[in-house]
Amino acid sequence: MMQDLAVTASTSALSPIALFLQADVVVKAVMIGLLLASVWTWTIILSGTISLSSALRKSKALAAEFWKSEDIDKFYDGPGRQDVPAAKVFSAAVSEWRRSVRTGKPVDREGTRARLANAMASAAAGEIDRLSDRLNILATVGSVAPFVGLFGTVWGIMRSFTDIAASQNTSLGVVAPGIAEALFATALGLFAAIPAVIAYNRLLHKISKIEGHLHRFGDALHITLSRELERA
């Protein structure tokens, strides 16, 4: 009767924990997986945002400090040894410079220029690789989590249809809780995927900014060093 139906509808609580506990084993596994993916995603988002911001800030500060400094060797032994992307590029250039110029033999200018450029480019690429290490996880979660959630939903709805067939009862009180549980899996999938996609694009943009900065710094350094090479 109507009253019974209303009662059964309101007694089935819609809190996330209740939905999780009522769900099927497969749906439970999907939910746990998506929750872990979400936690991992947010770990990467938070730590990635912090580390990329500080990398960009410190690189810019180091570059500005470098252009003000008088002595390259002194700078190399001081701030140049920091764990900063621009410092890595700088130290790669200086160590290559020392190896090429301080040999005692006549300096091969063209070869030294090429080696300097290669050393700086590879140092910058290594830094970018290190910074963008976690981005692939964000991309994977962003594209796969909705499908995983959808799988959980389809499975849950299949299960609730089986229950309907078994109980021979098509009233909403029988159908609704199962479908609500099933839809919760899709909600979790989207919950994990949306921040992942947004953060992926944001972090990618930040990394490309750092990359541009490193390349510009490397080019300027290369120009300065090759000018020095003319005098050597």
Partner 1 sequence: MMQKGEGAGFGLSVIGHGGLLALLSLNLMSVREMPKLSQSMDVMLVDKAGLVSGAPQVAQEAPQASEAPEVADTPEDAPPPDPAPTSRPTPAPAKPAVSQKAAEKPAPPAPPAPKAKPKATSLSNDFLKGIPVEKSTGKAAAPRAAISPLAMNGLAALLLQQVRPCYNPPAGGTDTASIATVLDLKMKRDGSVASVQIGEQTGINAQNRPYASQMADAARRAVLRCSPFKLPVELYEGGWDDFAFRFRPS
In whole angstroms, what is the distance from residue 141 CA to residue 164 CA? 34
Separation CA 216–CA 214 (nearest Å): 5
Q: Pick the closer one to partner 1 by CB: 35 or 101.
A: 35
Q: Which is nearer to partner 1, 68 or 168 (CB)?
A: 168
The C-alpha atoms of residue 197 and residue 191 are separated, in whole angstroms, by 11
Single out the residue of 14, 21, 114, 198 in contact with partner 1 (rule: CB under 8 A).
14
Q: How many residues bind partner 1 (CB under 8 A)?
A: 30
Report whether 84 contacts 59 (CB < 8 A).
yes
Write out the DSSP string of 173-225.
HHHHHHHHHHHHHHHHHHHHHHHHHHHHHHHHHHHHHHHHHHHHHHHHHHHHH
25 binds partner 1 (CB under 8 A): no
Whole-angstrom CA distances from 44 to 93, 99, 179, 191, 211 are 31, 39, 32, 15, 19
| Minimal distance, residue 202 CB to partner 1, in Å | 15
Q: Which two tokens stand for residue 140?
A: 């994977």
Which member of 23, 27, 30, 44 binds partner 1 (CB under 8 A)? 44
Indicate whether 133 belongs to the interface with partner 1 (CB under 8 A). Answer: yes
Q: Which two tokens stand for residue 102?
A: 């301080």
Question: Which of 103, 136, 162, 171 contacts partner 1 by CB under 8 A?
Answer: 171
Pick the stretch among 11-19, 56-64, 197-205, 207-215 that binds partner 1 (CB under 8 A): 11-19
Q: Is 135 in the site for partner 1 (CB under 8 A)?
A: no
Query: Among the candidate windows 43-51, 63-71, 108-116, 155-163, which touches partner 1 by CB under 8 A?
Result: 43-51
Q: Are 189 and 146 in contact (CB under 8 A)?
A: yes
Cβ neighbours for 136, distance < 8 A, ≥ 6 positions apart? none
Does 168 bind partner 1 (CB under 8 A)? Our answer is yes
At 81, list the tokens. 């040894």
Nearer to partner 1, 2 or 25 (CB): 2
Q: Per CB under 8 A, which region of 33-41, 67-75, 112-120, 212-220 contacts partner 1?
A: 33-41
Segment contacting partner 1 by CB under 8 A, of 98-106, 113-121, 136-144, 167-175: 167-175
> Which chain residues interact with partner 1 by CB under 8 A?
1-2, 6, 9-10, 13-17, 35, 38-48, 50-51, 133-134, 168-171
